[in-house]
Amino acid sequence: MIGWDIAISRLILAIIFGVIIGLIMAFFFRKGEEQLGEENLNLKSKNLPPRILTFIITLVLILLVGTAKFPAQLKYILISILTFSLIMIVIFILKREEAITWLKETYFFTKSIIPLLLIGVFLSGIATKIIPKELVSNLAGKNNLLSNFGGVLFGIFVYFPTLIEVPVAQTFLKLGMAKGPLLAYLLADPELSIQSILVTSKIIGKKKVAIYVILVAIACTIAGLSYGFFTTIKFF
């Protein structure tokens, strides 16, 4: 285990920084938000079309069933039924332009994310075997600005799936990483991974993403420094 102190600190800081960064983003881009709000006034009275709602529910069900702890045979049957239903919805229920838009977006994210995901998982598998303990200790063994910022950069460029974050974090602790840089990495990894940046830029635009990345990187670095300082004077 990496410790309840890191887990609780990560949870609390993620919430606090989420609120603060959201407020800062709203302040910087308030003009754009006001214009967007005016443009969307007429949309408030419109309900989501049943076909779109059915489509979204089917996608969510596939996700939930795929990650649920069902017996393998039952899971395959349910996913097959849901996938067939999804295909029927796309072909016969969605409008042509809606189906084409969804397929284009699916292709874009698949093309952008899958290669990075495969590379990230591969690197995560070999990194702990080939990285010398002395290197980790020298680069991230102390709680200073460079080490914490290095933890943030590592979270950006090397993606570890959520399920293996904890064992990877344990490995880094064994290799000599200080807890401050480790927390900085754990905060940055899900928020600033290349995959997350690509998805977010598609939704809010490159300019907002650039500001977002800078703010999160600063926040994660400060969090690591602060946590490392508090653990040094034994507040935990």
Round to whole Å and give the CA distance between 180 and 186: 10
Q: Are 2 and 169 in contact (CB under 8 A)?
A: yes
| Residue 32, in any domain of the structure | yes
Q: Domain residues for 74? A: 46-94
Kindly state the tokens that stand for 48.
């989501």
Nearest-CA neighbor of 220 among 126, 142, 156, 130? 156
Domain shared by 61 and 169, yes or no = no
Note down pLDDT in tens along the chain; length 236 residues.
Answer: 567 788 888 889 888 988 999 899 888 887 765 555 554 545 454 578 999 999 999 999 998 998 788 898 999 999 999 999 999 999 999 999 999 999 998 898 788 777 766 766 676 667 667 777 777 778 888 888 888 998 888 888 776 666 567 777 777 887 788 889 989 988 888 888 777 787 788 778 888 899 999 999 999 999 999 888 887 655 44
Nearest-CA neighbor of 221 among 188, 179, 189, 172? 188
Which residues, 6 or more positions from 80, have their beta carbon under 8 angstroms from its beta carbon? none
| Residue 120, in any domain of the structure | yes
Domain shared by 82 and 174, yes or no = no
Round to whole Å and give the CA distance between 155 and 186: 7
Round to whole Å and give the CA distance between 41 and 36: 9
Query: Which pLDDT score, from 0 to 100, does residue 102 have?
Result: 93
Round to whole Å and give the CA distance between 191 and 6: 17
Query: Which pLDDT score, from 0 to 100, does residue 124 have?
Result: 60
Domain shared by 163 and 193, yes or no = yes
| Residue 188, in any domain of the structure | yes
Domain shared by 88 and 168, yes or no = no
Domain shared by 57 and 114, yes or no = no
Kindly state the tokens that stand for 14.
């993620």
Which residues, 6 or more positions from 188, have their beta carbon under 8 angstroms from its beta carbon? 151, 152, 154, 155, 156, 216, 217, 220
Domain shared by 10 and 116, yes or no = yes
Domain shared by 66 and 166, yes or no = no
Q: Are 220 and 180 in contact (CB under 8 A)?
A: no
Domain shared by 87 and 197, yes or no = no
| Residue 71, in any domain of the structure | yes
Query: Which pLDDT score, from 0 to 100, does residue 37 have?
Result: 52
Domain shared by 123 and 214, yes or no = yes
| Residue 99, in any domain of the structure | no
- Number of compact structural domains in the chain: 2
| Residue 103, in any domain of the structure | no
Which residues, 6 or more positions from 190, have their beta carbon under 8 angstroms from its beta carbon? 162, 196
Domain shared by 119 and 143, yes or no = yes
Query: Which pLDDT score, from 0 to 100, does residue 45 have?
Result: 47
| Residue 137, in any domain of the structure | yes
| Residue 100, in any domain of the structure | no
Helix ranges (DSSP H) in the chain: 4-28, 30-39, 50-67, 72-88, 96-130, 133-140, 145-157, 162-174, 179-192, 194-204, 206-232
Domain shared by 24 and 54, yes or no = no
Domain shared by 198 and 181, yes or no = yes
